Structure 1
Amino acid sequence: MDGTDGMRGKGRTDGTGDGYGADDAYGTDRVGAPDGPRGLRGKRDLPFPYDQDLSGVLRNLNRRTRWGRDRLANDRVTSALLAAGMRLLVRHLGPGGRQRVSSERLLLGSLSQRMVAEEFAGNPAPFTRYGNGVSMLRDRWSRHADYVTDLITFAVWRENYRPQYRKQRADNIKRLVHGPDFVQAVHDIAYRHTVEGVGLPSVRLGLALMTAAEGDEEVTRIISAVYEDYLGSWKKLYETVLRERHLRLRRGLTLDDLANALSAATDGMTLRAIGDPAAGVVDHGERRSLMGTVALAVIHAFLEPDDDAGGLTLEQAVAARFGSPA
């Protein structure tokens, strides 16, 4: 028996611990701990992204040391509790959800300890579903609000959609940079992006939190981090398009302005499509969305050809077109 087995022998067996003793969980970091993420070997059979390293995602786990938190982040029971919460989010946020979303409901309603524990007991294989769900939650997160915050972080984590997104981004670059019909490419990408946003619980959650959780510093941090990563990838695409299409931003405008304008418009279109489907923001028959039209308008207003740049700001260009009032 080595030191690891000795530590494991001290751990709790009621399902509320992380498989290690109190010295491991609450004392100093264990000497000789293997490099790399802790616990990944024990959850390789879980579906993506639950089989990934979650130590950088779950920031509110109830352990004093980094080793203890990392170990618990990659514990099978922790993944099972996240899976239960994710199913509740999908069920209550939609698409197809019928319950009003508010910060209070997130904490006390659809994501209450009781609801999460009940959902945990119904986990499908290969997720863990046995044991006292409430006790397991309380062992891992000292406050239920900490569980909700970590669940939100996990729900909007880029790895939840990264593999598909990488392929889409490569296709987008190919069409926007080298495709024969730039306008049609913008319409197609805008339609697909809007429809996917309407259907993704993580997008719905983010939109709800931006208003319902105003003033919550932790949620604000999560949303800011999501946008930083999300807009960063789009800005790289825009840079490529501008360079290869020989375009430049108008004087006084930046790449951040372009990315924020298109992102804010997308958020608004998605929110309108969710809340008012009859508004015609998305036309599934024609596979068009109003976002495509707005994107083209922003592109036309913000950009000008390298070889025909007038050097005017956006305001000056608009003033020149409409003239001075009589």
Structure 2
Amino acid sequence: MSPQQQEPLNLPAEVHLGAGLDLYDAKIVTNISGRSAQTRRRLANGRETRAFLDAALGLTTELFTPAFSEQLLDNDEEDARPVMSYLSRRKVLAKARSNCGDDFPLSENMMRHRWSTHGDFLADFVSYALADKHWSLQIALSRHGRELLTAGEDFAAAVHRIAYEDLKLVLELPAYRFQLLAVATAQADSASAQALARMYKNLSKVWMSLYTGVFEHYGFEFRPGVGMEEFSILLQAMAEGLGLRLISGVDEPLLNHEQRTSLLGTAALSLFLAMVDPGDGLTLEQTAEAAVHLRRRT
């Protein structure tokens, strides 16, 4: 059976931070109060807990919306991280009440019952927001991956489309932008550092699952000395760097909405051509030396 005739890729199942996900077992909400694990699990997955965390995520969306950002940037919570001053207990509670309406009463005591300090709440929110980014990306790949990599489109077009969809999420999802705030606090904040490490581990699993399926589907192999992990790390790093430039608003050709392409797609194809073995069995270093030697001879 030729590579093009193989079975469709087995992409990750569509999952999200919905009611079916145990936030306690998934180690997303870990700073909740409670004497027993059973109590902490119940509180972590309660609708009030999700209401407060979703409210903080909504405030993060507003933080990156010029019309709302200025009124959010103050600090009325003693233990709030400076870069997260917009997530005071008062603002989160007000946002949660607005989201849920009168039929779903919420109070400050409910927050304090779940998180003994506001710092504990912020630590869980960092984890929740970064997990939201991970699940959002996995949903995007689930929806587009099989169709793009096994349908009638050519391979380069498929790579461009997935890269375009991934980079476009930077503009559409506050969790992507929130990652920058988490990175800014990670060095001085162990909770942010642990949440980031968990997010990168989960993201790597998602991307490497996709890449492994693609390589097996088409029969690709890496050059000697490099492998799937290096390929995945480099692509993620390029995506984050281009995403940072994108949200900075620089006047650069990063996304082409008309053609649904991006510089990330160009970078992905370039990395692919460099790291995949075309059959010569050379390492990257040997390939570079051979190219330079050939140029010197002409």
Distance 1:101 1:257 in 2: 39
Identity of aligned residues (%): 28
Identify the residue that residue 93 of structure 2 maps to in structure 1: 117
Cα displacement (A) at 1:149: 1.2
Distance 2:229 2:73 in 1: 31
Identify the residue that residue 289 of structure 2 maps to in structure 1: 319
Cα displacement (A) at 1:225: 1.2
Identify the residue that residue 62 of structure 1 maps to in structure 2: 33
Q: Does 1:86 align with 2:57?
A: yes
Identify the residue that residue 226 of structure 2 maps to in structure 1: 253
Cα displacement (A) at 1:271: 0.9
User: Structure 1 length as normaliser, TM-score?
Assistant: 0.74
Distance 2:64 2:20 in 1: 24
Q: Does 1:298 align with 2:275?
A: no
The change in CA–CA distance for 1:235 and 1:183 in structure 2 (over 3 A counts) is same
Q: Does 1:53 align with 2:22?
A: yes
CA contact (8 A) 1:156 1:226 kept: yes
Identify the residue that residue 6 of structure 2 maps to in structure 1: none
Distance 1:95 1:198 in 2: 14
User: Structure 2 length as normaliser, TM-score?
Assistant: 0.80
Cα displacement (A) at 1:87: 1.4
Aligned Cα root-mean-square deviation (Å): 3.0
- Larger deviation: 83-92 or 50-59? 50-59
Identify the residue that residue 158 of structure 2 maps to in structure 1: 185
The change in CA–CA distance for 1:96 and 1:204 in structure 2 (over 3 A counts) is farther
CA contact (8 A) 1:209 1:219 kept: yes
The change in CA–CA distance for 1:170 and 1:117 in structure 2 (over 3 A counts) is closer
CA contact (8 A) 1:186 1:295 kept: yes
Distance 1:130 1:247 in 2: 55
* Structure 2: 5+ residue stretches without partners: 1-15, 75-79
Cα displacement (A) at 1:168: 3.4
Identify the residue that residue 119 of structure 2 maps to in structure 1: 145
CA contact (8 A) 2:274 2:284 kept: yes
Report runs of 4+ in structure 1 exceeding 6 Å deviation.
100-103
Distance 1:210 1:278 in 2: 24
CA contact (8 A) 1:141 1:147 kept: yes
Cα displacement (A) at 1:206: 1.3
Structure having the higher helix fraction is 2
The change in CA–CA distance for 1:245 and 1:101 in structure 2 (over 3 A counts) is farther
* Structure 1: 5+ residue stretches without partners: 1-46
Matches within 5 A, 1:272-287: 272-287=245-260
Matches within 5 A, 1:231-250: 231-250=204-223
Distance 2:103 2:179 in 1: 26
Residues 116-174 of structure 1 show CA distances to partners (whole Å, capped at 9, x for unaligned) of: 1222332334873443x2x3222211121110111121222259845x83473363244
Query: How many residues matched?
Result: 273
CA contact (8 A) 1:188 1:292 kept: yes
CA contact (8 A) 2:134 2:203 kept: no
Asked which structure has the greater RCO (Cα within 8 Å, sep 6+), the reply is: 2
